[in-house]
Chains A and B, each alone.
Chain A
Amino acid sequence: DQQVKQNSPSLSVQEGRISILNCDYTNSMFDYFLWYKKYPAEGPTFLISISSIKDKNEDGRFTVFLNKSAKHLSLHIVPSQPGDSAVYFCAAPSIQGAQKLVFGQGTRLTINP
Chain B
Amino acid sequence: DSGVTQTPKHLITATGQRVTLRCSPRSGDLSVYWYQQSLDQGLQFLIQYYNGEERAKGNILERFSAQQFPDLHSELNLSSLELGDSALYFCASSGRGQMNTEAFFGQGTRLTVV
Contact = CB atoms under 8 A, between A and B. Distances in A.
Interface of A: 4, 6, 9, 32, 34, 36, 41-46, 49, 89, 93-94, 96-106
Given A100-B58, A102-B45, 13 more contacts: A9-B40, A41-B108, A43-B92, A43-B105, A43-B108, A44-B90, A46-B101, A89-B42, A98-B98, A99-B50, A100-B33, A100-B48, A101-B45
B43 interface: yes
A100 B90 contact: no
Given A89-B43, A104-B42, A99 B101 contact: no
A104 B40 CA distance: 11
A100 B42 contact: no
Question: What is the size category of the interface that chain B forms with chain A?
Answer: 20 to 34
B42 A99 contact: no
Contacts of A106: 42
Given A43-B2, A43-B92, A102-B45, A34 B100 contact: yes
Nearest to A100: B45
Contacts of B44: 103
B99 A45 contact: no
B100 A42 contact: no
A43 B107 contact: yes
Nearest to A42: B107
Contacts of B42: 4, 6, 89, 103-106
B99 A100 contact: yes
